[in-house]
Amino acid sequence: MATDADAIIVGGGLAGLVAAAEIADAGKRVIVLDQEGETSLGGQAFWSLGGLFFVDSPEQRRLRIKDSRDLAMHDWLGSAQFDRPHDHWPRRWAQAYVDFAAGEMRSWLHAMGMRWFPVVGWAERGGGFADGHGNSVPRFHITWGTGPGVLEPFVRRVRAHAAEGRIVLKFRHRVSRLVRTDGRVTGAAGEILEPSSVERGERSGRAAVGEFELAAGAVVVASGGIGGDFDLVRKNWPVERLGLPPVTMVAGVPHHVDGRMIAITRDAGGAVINADRMWHYTEGVKNWSPIWPNHGIRILPGPSSLWLDATGNRLPAPCLPGFDTLATLRHILSTGHDYSWFILTQKIIKKEFALSGSEQNPDFTAKSWRAVLKSRRGAGAPPPVEAFKEKGEDFIVRDTLAELVEAMNALTDEKLLDHDRIKAQIEARDCQIDNPFSKDAQITAIRGARAYLGDKLIRTAAPHKMLDPKNGPLIAVRLHVLTRKSLGGLHTDLESRVLDSAGNPVPGLYAAGEVAGFGGGGYHGYNALEGTFLGGCIFSGRAAGRHIAAS
């Protein structure tokens, strides 16, 4: 049978680029198909903060963080909580990825030119028990250049192969069918979409102007997750674990992250597992300058903001900023509302607020130390945060608590918040500041965070009384549920081969990245430790590419 290439990659995001580069390095011919235009090469990874999960890295050791493969594996399994018969391959992927993150991952990426910010972030600090969810130590390494910095070496490799004719990039090619011949996947077919000149992330047209069918020895599905399709998110929502899905959400990913290839791959014989496992954030705010529909941005909070539900009651531990994402999501939805509130001070926002995404961190994205020092050590919060404080509809700034609560009620038009009740809770919290010890779990967590040099320097404000005017003004932020990641997906073995319902590889079919649950059909299990989404795209894309190259 004549073929157009040795391999077809469906999706030009990070996983697809890694797979394409690895296959072309072996001298094989690759076609990359993407339904978006060339401006969107790199996919969702472009918009990321560029965090990567490394274990026992030089950056950690310089900060006297004692990490190990065994500790990381203990944390991963405590977070994943694998409990299903089909979790065999997800568990194997988790073990292989931790080995990679503790082994050659950093040196391999470093050799391609990737570098990282010297202060390691401490994300997902956990649910309160050593054998449960969370990172025991800081492991979140921000790539110098953020998401574009992660993409750069792989884009460079793919472009070099394209110049030599080994890779062909076909944009505005939407796959609607995987071609099967005698039980083997032998190609992909679909529609050629109308030309588009929209900027990266903006909604593009979907009118078809032609059709295509291409043949190859292998097909890699690397098309991403479902976060841009709210209906699909709600369809897969785990009601029994998280409660009813939110009525309103904001989108943390562009509209083209639509999950359509999952059903298409299932029709070609691939099995989907753990579709109910997903990862959505509770600290979303509406972007005052949106790029895609319902565009939301996640606040990356330090540990000090007071977190209240929609009725003005303080969230219980471990539902603290930066600690346990899904426990917090479950608690918020149990109140019968789909939003919550931060109350904080100017001192807190200046030191602790960051915004997720490459475009919200222009200093890191531009790889400018001068810009980093100017924006992170200035008189106010970083400029993008100050812009949200000034222009974002979810931000309220007032001098007194009475004025703040009145404005909070006006913003929702629900009148659910009682000033005296909120004041009593803040006063109780403030009285815990007078001693270096406390019975308040959040105050204890703040002091614990500041025991880590990285947090003390740039991420955690010194404990202070929120109602003391010298620490003001007071700030309230309405927080929405923000869609982000699919933790389940196409079932794959360690070579990224897609498995059928009986657990056997579908000949010629591979999957990598989020569409495969970042490996195995869900190597995170129920919870993510952060820095493991981009890392999973790299690891699974590399596995697919290398297996195809060697086949």
Q: Tokens for 125, please give them.
A: 């600090």
Worst-scoring range by mean pLDDT, 208-222, 242-256, 375-389? Answer: 375-389
265 found inside a domain: no
- Three-state DSSP at 456 gives helix
258 found inside a domain: no
355 found inside a domain: yes
Q: Select from 430, 458, 482 the last residue of a domain.
A: 482
Q: Tokens for 105, please give them.
A: 């991952």
What letter represents residue 373's amino acid? L
Give the model confidence (pLDDT) of 152-178 as tens digits. Answer: 999 999 999 999 999 999 999 999 999
Averaged pLDDT for residues 133-160? 98
pLDDT for 377 equals 77
Number of H helices, E strands in the chain: 19, 20
pLDDT for 127 equals 87
pLDDT for 99 equals 98
Phi and psi angles of residue 93, each rounded to the nearest 5 degrees, phi first: -65, -40
252 found inside a domain: no
Averaged pLDDT for residues 126-136? 95
Q: Select from 462, 482, 502 the last residue of a domain.
A: 482
Give the model confidence (pLDDT) of 306-339 as tens digits. Answer: 999 999 999 999 999 999 999 999 999 999 999 9
Same domain, 514 and 475: no
CA distance 526 to 539: 19
Residue-wise over 251-272: b if at least 16 C-beta within 10 A, else e? bbbbbbbbbbbbebbeebbbbb
Mean pLDDT of the chain: 97
Neighbours of 212 (CB within 10 A): 16
Same domain, 474 and 494: no
Same domain, 107 and 181: yes
Same domain, 443 and 505: no
pLDDT for 363 equals 94
CA distance 464 to 468: 8
- Measured between alpha carbons, how far is residue 80 from residues 90, 136, 523 in Å? 10, 14, 8
Same domain, 474 and 507: no
Same domain, 426 and 348: yes
Give the model confidence (pLDDT) of 228-245 as tens digits. Answer: 999 999 999 999 999 999
Give the model confidence (pLDDT) of 408-431 as tens digits. Answer: 999 999 999 999 999 999 999 999
Same domain, 425 and 527: no
267 found inside a domain: no
Strands (DSSP E) along 411-534, which ranges?
474-486, 489-490, 497-499, 505-511
pLDDT for 1 equals 60
Strands (DSSP E) along 47-172, which ranges?
51-53, 140-142, 167-171
Q: Tokens for 153, please give them.
A: 């070496």
Same domain, 540 and 439: no
Task: Please report, for the domain that includes residue 216, its CATH number.
Answer: 3.50.50.60
Give the model confidence (pLDDT) of 55-90 as tens digits. Answer: 999 999 999 999 999 999 999 999 999 999 999 999
266 found inside a domain: no
Same domain, 439 and 504: no
**Which range marks the domain in which residue 321 is found?**
280-482
Q: Total structural domains in the chain?
A: 2
199 found inside a domain: yes
Give the model confidence (pLDDT) of 446-494 as tens digits. Answer: 999 999 999 999 999 999 999 999 999 999 999 999 999 999 999 999 9
What pairing do the DSSP bridges indicate for beta strands 474-486 and 306-309?
A: unpaired
Q: Select from 426, 460, 482 the last residue of a domain.
A: 482
Contact 345, 467 (CB under 8 A): no
Give the model confidence (pLDDT) of 279-292 as tens digits. Answer: 999 999 999 999 99
Looking at the chain, the whole-number percentage of residues with pLDDT higher than 90 is: 96
pLDDT for 312 equals 98
